[in-house]
Amino acid sequence: MGGLAALAREAGHRVTGCDVGVYPPMSDQLQALGIELIEGFGSDQMKLRPDLYVIGNVVSRSRLPSGEPKFPLMEAILEAGAPYTSGPQWLSEHVLQGRHVMAVAGTHGKTSTTSMLSWILEAAGLKPGFLVGGVPLNFGVSARLGQVASGHSRNYFVIEADEYDTAFFDKRSKFVHYRPRTAILNNLEFDHADIFDDLNAIERQFHHLVRTVPAKGRLVVNGLEESLTRVLAQGCWSEVRTFGTTVSDFSALGEPNNFDVLQQGRKVAQATWELGGVHNQLNALAAIAAAEHVGVSPEVAAHALASFQNVKRRMELRGTVGGIKVYDDFAHHPTAIRTTLDGLRRQIGPQQRILAIFEPRSNTMKLGTMKSQLPWSLAQADLSFCHSGGLDWDAHAALAEMGHKAQVAANIDELVKQVMSQVKPGDHLLCMSNGGFGGVHEKLLNALQLA
> CA 359, 444, 369 angle in degrees (round to 5)?
5
| Closest alpha carbon to 56 in 14, 84, 36 | 84
Q: Which pLDDT score, from 0 to 100, does residue 434 have?
A: 83
Average pLDDT over residues 280-284: 95
Reported CATH class of domain 316-450: alpha beta
User: 3-state class of 112 per DSSP?
Assistant: helix
Q: Check residue 117 and give its pLDDT.
A: 98
Q: For 56-90, how does the pLDDT look when each residue is reduced to its tens digit (9 = 90+)?
A: 999 999 999 999 999 999 999 999 999 999 999 99
Residue 255 has pLDDT above 70, yes or no: yes
pLDDT higher at 368 or 432: 432
> Which of 39-53, 195-209, 283-297 comes out lowest in average pLDDT?
195-209
2-85 under CATH 3.40.50.720, yes or no: yes
Residue 298 one-letter amino acid: P
DSSP H/E element including 289: helix 278-293
Confidence of residue 148 (pLDDT cuts 50, 70, 90): confident
At 190 the three-state DSSP class reads coil
Q: How many CA atoms lie within 13 A of 230 on its CB side?
A: 14
- What does the pLDDT read at residue 121? 98
Topology match between the domains 96-305 and 316-450:
no
Q: pTM, whole model, 2 decimals?
A: 0.82
pLDDT confidence bin for 428, thresholds 50/70/90: very high
Banded model confidence at residue 134, pLDDT cuts 50, 70, 90? confident
Among 112-121, 166-175, 417-426, 432-441, which stretch is predicted with the lowest mean pLDDT?
432-441
Number of other CB atoms surrounding residue 81 within 10 Å: 7
Secondary structure class of 308 (helix, strand, coil)? coil
Average of per-residue pLDDT values in the chain = 93
The domain spans of the chain are: 2-85, 96-305, 316-450
Mean pLDDT confidence for 337-342: 89
Q: Cα 27 to the chain's mean position, in Å?
A: 17
When pLDDT is averaged across residues 273-283 and rounded to a whole number, the result is: 90
Encode pLDDT of 411-425 as tens digits.
999 999 999 999 999
Could you tell me how many helices (H) and strands (E) the chain has, helices first? 15, 22
What is the pLDDT, as a whole number, of residue 193? 66
- Among 14-23, 396-405, 408-417, the least confident range: 14-23
Contact 208, 105 (CB under 8 A): no
Question: In terms of pLDDT, which residue wins out, 418 or 373?
Answer: 418
Of all residues in the chain, what percent carry a pLDDT higher than 90?
Answer: 76
Q: What is the mean pLDDT of residues 393-403?
A: 94
| Across 25-39, 273-287, 340-354, 370-384, least confident range | 25-39
Whether residue 21 is predicted with pLDDT greater than 90 in this model: the reply is: no
pLDDT above 90 for 410: yes
Least confident of 8-22, 187-201, 396-410: 187-201
Give domain 96-305's CATH superfamily. Mur-like, catalytic domain (3.40.1190.10)
Q: How confident is the model at residue 390 (pLDDT cuts 50, 70, 90)?
A: confident
DSSP output for 238-288: SEEEEESSTTSSEEEEEETTEEEEEETTEEEEEEE-S--SHHHHHHHHHHH
φ/ψ region of 237 (left if φ > 0, alpha if ψ in -120 to 50, else beta) reads alpha
Higher pLDDT, 179 or 434: 179
Mean pLDDT to the nearest integer, 145-160: 90
Per-residue pLDDT for 201 more than 80?
A: yes
